[in-house]
Structure 1
Amino acid sequence: MTTTGRKARSSHQLQSPPSFQELTMEADTHASLSSYIDLLLDAICVVDKAGKFVYVSGGGERIFGYSGEEMIGKSMIDLVLPEDRDMTLQTARDIMSGRHEPHFENRYVRKDGQIVHIMWSARWSDSDQLRIAVARDITKRKRIEARQAALFAISEAAHAAEDLPTLFERIHQIIENLLPAASFSIALYDDAKDDVYFPYHAGNQVSPSLIDSTVHCAEVIRTGKTLLLLPKDINELRGLADTSSSWLGVPLKSQRGTIGAMAVLSHPDNPHYSDEDRELLQFVSTQAAAAIERKQLLDHLQHMALYDQLTDLPNRALFGDRIQSALSRARRDGQRLAVLYLDLNRFKFINDNYGHPVGDLLLKEVARRLEGCVRASDTVSRFGGDEFVILLENIASPANTAAVLKKIHQALNLPFVLGNHNIGIHPSIGVAQFPDDGDDDAQLLCHADHAMYRTKKSIP
């Protein structure tokens, strides 16, 4: 046989149709390959140009909760978490235009309502007009990353926040990134009053009567255990059947016990909270409790340094800061201010005859009455003993100061009922006006002090 003949025969053999046996072997190979693919933890997903699933491997049910038959024909975007849909559609358009996307991440809602984080590797087959992608469940990894990020952020907030309200707001922002919520609350337990109060609440509830957060936060604090109320639980509590929100409360535990609780209410159109969410929030709450307790301690120490422990009025140091600021404003805006120096006549006699506990009660009541005589923008301070100093800002004229002076005399001249004692006391008050009687705080205090002693000496 010639070489040409051999080549012709070889070409004929290549072009001849495969035998039945060969077709059977190929089909068996594909079926076997498909069964192998179904064993993968990752899911192979094929989506047509309209965005509908045309093929999903066995891993799809493990990831999405739907069987392959249930997913075929479904629109891919309908399973994506609403917050991620715009981003997902844009990425799909980019892939269909020819861009390979090896590490795209988004969130899907499983059949059971839980959120799953997916990392995709996807390509577009122009000849088949299909999008072929591999889906990997990275939910556990994302939860670990979220925990670490939240712990770091809360620790940073504990050092950076100027005060408790700022810290509460920052904790809310951190939790919002972990668990989207329609409302977020922090409840704290007041040991002295044996009461639960809410120093922070943000967000709008679906209905004000949806759930009594006070009752359930109190339960969380009392038991020291987390509480998860699913929609059916809330509906049973309300006697209705129209709620799709869930409520999750976790205790804030510190070294000295449970100091409060954090609570979140889910959006009605979002999946309800799960046991995994409960575990996540509880884990983060430990760090939040430490941050809150630390800020409480710092605030308490600062309060002790700036406020009188008996009357809780600003002390001499805080008064000094406030009068300096007030003088700066008065000079800048051309305003007047006044300083009143007050002393209680016969206070030593009351201490000696009725005892120091009664004297302390008297000083507390005097402080409350003085605060009732001035505006919120003014400052009533205790310098020590029975000496009080009052700063009146933005005074239009000396006549305004005289009106406040008269009000104070009327308030303090009324009897003080302290336990079984009915005590009368009269103040001596000296006044200094800015700018008439001095240009700085030292001059004004000195002038008011001397004026007070002159008044005291004039009393028979």
Structure 2
Amino acid sequence: MIPAPLIPHDKLLDLLLDVVCVVNKEGRFLSVSAASERVFGYTPQELIGRTAFELIHPDDREATRQIVERITAGQPSSDHENRYIHKQGHIVHIMWSTQWFAAEQVRVGVARDITARKQAEARQAAVYAVSAAAHLAETLPALYQQMHHLIAQHLPVQAFSVALYDAERDQLSFPYQAGDGLPGPAPAPLAAYPSLARTIRSYPHTPKTENSGQSPQLCVPLLHDGVPIGVLVVQGRRGSPVFNARDTEFLNFVASQLVTAISRHRAYDKLSFLAQHDQLTQLPNRVLLMDRLQGALLRAQRTSGQLAVLYLDLDSFKQINDTYGHGVGDQLLQQVATRLRQSVRESDSCGRLGGDEFAVLLDSIRQRQDAASVAEKILSTLAAPFLIEGHTLTCTPSVGIAVYPEHGQSERQLMHHADNAMYAAKRNGGAGYAFSPDAPA
């Protein structure tokens, strides 16, 4: 039997997947196995004579120098790690097993490429960080910013956007954008953004990377109960590789966590709104109005300013309600609320206290007459007939006015005096206003 031919030792080294190299005391490569081209992108001939520190990531050079000093002092290392810059420009993670041979004055090292493992570990850490951020972020803007930061740690991101879809209006809004060449933040029709429209319209098809000006772009749908409510848009750096399947999987996870957070915040906002607003008219309720009055009082006290509270009661509401029914009465209250909002500034507040009683907070007035002018405008606005279910109805209010600091120092005092003034206006025949205490303007 003829024995198999022996392979020379130097050829055996070239068959190894790990890189075997010999460097002198200055760190210059004296010998490198063929695996260097697979790991570092450089052929052995390209590395001979160069120093290893030329290829090491700048942030890792000092730590590596300290390790090399210990190895040269007689302390072999079997598991130290550092990062190298591949010939094509990307980072490779290396684990070294290295020993110094004093007689030959050389270091012999074996380099194993652990980039895939490091990327998997980093991606897993990012998954945990994304999940934690989604559950702990106090506000959605803060969460969007944190998600952007986490994504940028693992992908070559040039721009990042969160686009939310309003199906009823068929338009997109952009609550978060960061980067170059992004659309304006104002809502716009879905058709204005073809790539985002494709993502929403074509679901459940797998998201695909598109090239926008030679920059890869990936649009991932934000899905709530299987229905797209928006799009996560990641724009890669110009010339960077297209996003692969692992990138898409990671961004899909980010999208799912964002949807969970968005849904939770929306539910909280809805509950908060319901707790602070009248369900029929959507006006602030007594609790919220008193809270706003308290804040306005603090501002007025700091600036030595004035404010006013108007207390309204609809003169003939009970009669209308009894005659035409609660359905007509509810619509009347809703229309009254709409007209009240139209009668005051955006900085002022209208609220429903209960039944047919409303209040208006005039935040910051210059003089008592300003409150009277608003009361006259409200009376004029509500004097116009209401058309409800074929009925033409008239329902004027009685308005009581209390002014800070003339009529009270606290929110309760002002509300009490405005209430008393409203009854004074009602005793005077209604459809008018009176200042506290029971003195007509």
Partner of 2:280: 310
Aligned to 1:178, the other structure's residue is in SS state coil
State the AA in 1 paired with 2:354.
G
- CA positional deviation for 1:455: 1.5
Contact 2:27–2:51 (CA under 8 A) maintained in structure 1: yes
- Deviates further, 92-101 or 313-322: 92-101
TM-score normalised per structure 2: 0.75
Please tell me whether the aligned partners of residues 336 and 433 of structure 1 are also in contact (alpha carbons under 8 angstroms): yes
Q: 1:158 to 1:228 in 2, by over 3 A?
A: same
In the alignment, the residues of structure 2 paired with residue 39 and residue 182 of structure 1 have an alpha-carbon distance, to the nearest angstrom, of 38
1:314/1:130 CA distance change after superposition, 3 Å: farther
1:340 CA displacement = 1.3
| Aligned match of 1:221 | 200
- Aligned CA distance change for structure 1 residues 227 and 312 (closer, same or farther; 3 Å): same
Partner of 2:315: 345
CA distance 1:310–1:173, shift in 2 (3 Å): farther
Checking the alignment, whether the CA contact within 8 Å between 2:42 and 2:87 is kept in structure 1 is: no
Cα separation, 2, equivalents of 1:98 and 1:356 = 88
Query: Which whole-Å deviations, capped at 9, do the CAs of 1:219-238 have from their partners, x for residues lacking one?
Result: 3334144423332xx4xxxx
Asked whether the equivalents of residues 226 and 248 of structure 1 are also in contact (C-alpha less than 8 Å), the reply is: no
Aligned letter for 1:137?
I
SS in 1 for 2:343: coil
- For residues 192-207 of structure 1, the aligned pairs below 5 Å read 193=168, 195-206=170-181
- The residue aligned with 1:143 is 120
| 1:103–1:306 CA distance, 2 compared to 1 (3 A) | farther
Gaps of 5+ in 2: 1-5, 185-189, 431-441
Give the deviation of 1:44 after TM superposition.
Answer: 4.7
- Tell me, yes or no, if structure 1 residue 322 matches structure 2 residue 284: no
- Quote the offset at 1:207 in angstroms: 6.3
Task: Return 433-442 or 200-209, whichever deviates more.
Answer: 200-209
**Aligned-residue CA RMSD (Å):** 4.2
The 1:49–1:380 alpha-carbon spacing in structure 2 relative to 1, beyond 3 Å, is farther
Which residue in 2 is equivalent to 1:385? 355
CA distance in 2, matches of 1:229, 1:160: 31
Alignment correspondent of 1:16 = none
Residue number in structure 1 paired with 2:138: 162
Relative to its length, the structure with more helix (as a share) is 1
Give the TM-score, by structure 1 length.
0.72
Cα deviation for residue 69 of structure 1 reads: 7.2
Counterpart of 2:209 in structure 1: which amino acid?
L
Cα distance in 2, alignment partners of residues 221 and 260 from structure 1:
7
Q: 1:250 aligns with which of 196, 204, 220?
A: 220
Which structure 2 residues correspond to residues 2-401 of structure 1 after superposition, within 5 A? Answer: 28-32=8-12, 34-35=13-14, 38-40=15-17, 42-44=18-20, 57-60=33-36, 62-63=38-39, 66=41, 68=43, 86-88=58-60, 103-106=80-83, 117-121=92-96, 134-147=111-124, 149-190=125-166, 193=168, 195-206=170-181, 208=183, 214-222=193-201, 223-231=203-211, 234=212, 243-255=213-225, 257-268=227-238, 270-352=240-322, 356-401=326-371
For 1:78 and 1:352, locate their aligned partners in 2 and report how far apart those are by CA, in whole Å: 90
Residue matched to 1:453? 423
Determine if contact 1:186/1:263 at 8 Å carries over to the other structure: yes
Deviation at 1:279, TM superposition (A): 1.3
Kept after mapping to 1: 8 A contact 2:37/2:44: no
In 1: Cα distance, 2:334 partner to 2:46 partner = 72
CA distance in 2, matches of 1:76, 1:420: 89
Unaligned runs of 5+ in 1: 1-24, 235-242
Cα deviation 1:162-199 (Å, max 9, x = unaligned) = 333333333333333333423222233445x2634325
Q: Compare 149-158 and 398-407 and name the one that shifted more.
A: 149-158
8 A contact 1:330–1:337 mirrored in 2: yes
